[in-house]
Amino acid sequence: MTAEMQAPETTYPTTHQGIIDFVTEVAALTQPDRIHWCTGSDEEWTELTDALVATGTFTRLNPAIKPNSFYAASDPIDVARVEDRTYICSVNERDAGPTNNWMAPDEMKKKMRGLYAGSMRGRTMYVIPFVMGHVEAERPMFGIELTDSAYVTASMRVMARMGTAVLDRMTELDAEFVPCIHSVGHPLEPGQADVAWPCNDTKYIVQFPEERAIWSYGSGYGGNALLGKKCYALRIASVMARDEGWLAEHMLILKLTSPAGTVKYIAAAFPSACGKTNLAMLQPTIPGWKVETLGDDIAWMRVGEDGRLWAVNPEYGFFGVAPGTNEHTNPNAMKTINKGNSVFTNVALTDDGDIWWEGLENPPASATSWKGEPWGPQSEELSSHPNSRYCTPIKQCDILAAEYDDPRGVPIDAILFGGRRKTTVPLVFEARDWTHGTFLGATLSSETTAAAVGAVGVVRRDPMAMLPFIGYNAGDYFGHWINVGKDNDAAKLPKIFYVNWFRRDDEGGFLWPGFGENSRVLKWVVERIDGQAAAVETPIGHVPTPESLDTEGLDLTPEALAAALAVDADEWRAELPQIQEWFEKFGDDLPGVLWTELDGLRARLGG
């Protein structure tokens, strides 16, 4: 940094020297016109959203339909996470492992300092003090995001606990925090007009695991820019969790109450756009069963003094996939967003100032597509990007479990892994034990979705649905999972299951109706835990007998059910070389017990 690079004037609403130094240093480098310390107040929200409307980033929705809510359309080059631009810059390359991009930290910092130099010119730098999880947690997990995006600042207010109360607590504790730098990489020269969605062709989403720091450049999209979410709560937190013996996972958390009043807590890991939000808010179709939500995307889990695995959702909002969400598939999400206070990105804007997307009821006669073009039901192009999102406060969810506000979280009874597979993987099966469950997680496979830039529908291994989010060597991550089972009383840990809502019939239709009907699978899961439901032992694990699954009132032929539950030895034998190849990637870093599990599977399949 050169001497003439001065930070703009600011008064510091904190005496926390680490925060003051961080803000001063980044402002001197990025040269914003102004610095704004976020309070998180309603007045600030109004000022921010008014300013976003004035610059054309936001369109205010019709207050009679969606109060205090906004529509945004991104640049078409900035619609999803960019996995090929995402780096784990550990000191040693080995520690990033074979599933992450890596560059030496010094080299990356040099490159990014070059990009950040003057990158906030003409803009405001927002200082966002935030906490992932509860500010009253035993050890609150603080962060400071510095961003030149008002859109990111508004979205962070929905997605994380932030503002003055958090900053005051950080000051009081002289707390450690994760420093997060974000710039859209679109400085404005004097007199230069802004664009509705500033971003840059060059993008870097970078985690420094040893330093616990995050540097992001060039994108305004959620997973790349709301740095408390994937970058902190998964990539950096997974490293902390490895060092401290806990788990940071891409999982929803739900509370399931049976007609008899028995409560079970379930966590589930499915890859991006594979059904976490939908399951988290599920409306059971079986009488007397109740689901309440704790989280839809991220779970932090620690073994408690009682030996059970306790989970909290570190987030404060939902950043949900819009297309496919409707009154049938996810009525609770619809109710949540209809209360307003939400941001909708890359959906369609209707002529009466509401939003619409593919799969929503009542298509409008005419609308504006996410690309800003006239759209009607006869249009060939989609109205909304497949990864269009709603961003809405979790507190508005009618079925939010009261335990959400408990910093201790909830004790998890079952973990579900799942992916999107047209073939091979049955509707549900149970792992034999924790190590086998870890094997199922480590070999999880799924067809790629629009949540990341790249081809859609390609089967890839996505271990624990964490492929893009493990902040260190995935071989070590598998070892960490194995150790959680070894170091604790396995009988008290959750039972592990694997699900697939996406198996298809010969005509390409879904074999299983999914959504609310998935409550039938959850019922089987808790009955297995309580030793009540029957299962057949197969080479891959315990699969429900057709009778053990509650299908009362379900419009499903016995043939379709059998096909949904089938374990086809040939299909599974075809998986073996793929799993072998996947494991070989990790060389000596793969825990030997996972090879033992693969050998066992091969032997049980007879080949």
Ligand X SMILES: O=C([O-])CC(=O)C(=O)O
Ligand Y SMILES: Nc1nc2c(ncn2[C@@H]2O[C@H](COP(=O)(O)OP(=O)(O)OP(=O)(O)O)[C@@H](O)[C@H]2O)c(=O)[nH]1
The binding site consists of 81, 221-223, 230, 250, 272-278, 297, 387-389, 420, 515-518
How many residues in the shown chain lie near ligand X by CB under 6 A?
Answer: 8
Q: Burial of 216 by CB count in 10 Å (0-12 exposed, 13-18 middle, 19+ buried)?
A: buried
CB atoms within 10 A of CB 101: 15
Indicate the residue among 143 and 275 with the shorter CB distance to ligand Y. Answer: 275
Q: Which of 89, 274, 391, 397 is catalytic?
A: 274
222 binds, among ligand Y, ligand X, Mn ion, none (CB under 5 to 8 A by kind): ligand X
Considering beta carbons, is residue 237 or 321 the nearer one to ligand Y? 321
Residues 281-300 that bind ligand X (CB under 6 A): 297
What is the maximum span of the chain, computed from C-alpha positions, in angstroms?
76
Specify the residue, 502 or 583, whose C-beta has the smaller distance to ligand Y.
502
Beta-ladder partners of 380? none
Among 230, 264, 420, 421, indicate the residue that binds ligand X (CB under 6 A). Answer: 230
Least CB distance from residue 79 to ligand X, whole Å? 10
Tell me the residue nearest to ligand X as measured from the CB.
Answer: 223
d(C-alpha 574, C-alpha 583), whole Å: 15
Q: Are 342 and 66 spatial neighbours (Cβ–Cβ below 8 Å)?
A: yes
| Binding span for ligand X by CB under 6 A among 71-79, 126-134, 222-230, 261-269 | 222-230
| 222 touching ligand X, by CB under 6 A | yes
Q: Does 301 bind ligand X (CB under 6 A)?
A: no
φ, ψ for residue 490, nearest 5 deg: -55, -30
Q: Which residues contact ligand Y (rule: CB under 6 A)?
A: 270, 272-278, 296-297, 320-321, 323-324, 329, 451, 501-502, 510, 514-515, 518
Give least dist CB 231 to ligand Y, A. Answer: 15
Q: Give the per-residue SS3 of 372-435.
A: CCEECCCCCCCCCCCCCEEEEEHHHCCCECHHHHCCCCEECCEEEEECCCCCCCCCEEECCCHH
Rule CB under 6 A: is residue 420 a binding residue for ligand X?
no
Residue 589 in contact with residue 475, Cβ under 8 Å?
yes
Told to check if 297 binds Mn ion by CB under 5 A, we report yes
462 near ligand X, judged by CB under 6 A:
no
**C-beta closer to Mn ion: residue 226 or 533:** 226
Among the listed residues 451, 467, 493, 521, the single contact to ligand X using CB under 6 A = 451
Active site residue 180: no
Of 22, 32, 69, 81, the one binding ligand X (CB under 6 A) is: 81
Residue 471: alpha-carbon gap to chain centroid: 14
223 binds ligand X (CB under 6 A): yes
320 binds, among ligand X, ligand Y, Mn ion, none (CB under 5 to 8 A by kind): ligand Y
Q: Residue type for 77, please?
A: I
| CA atoms of 591 and 572, how far apart (whole Å) | 22
**179-196: b (≥16 Cβ within 10 Å) or e:** bbbbbbbbbbeeeeeeeb
Task: Name the DSSP letter for residue 307.
Answer: S
Task: Give CA 245 to chain center in angstroms.
Answer: 21
Q: What is the binding site for Mn ion (CB under 5 A)?
A: 272, 297
Active-site positions read 274
| Binding footprint of ligand X on the chain (CB under 6 A) | 81, 222-223, 230, 272, 297, 319, 451
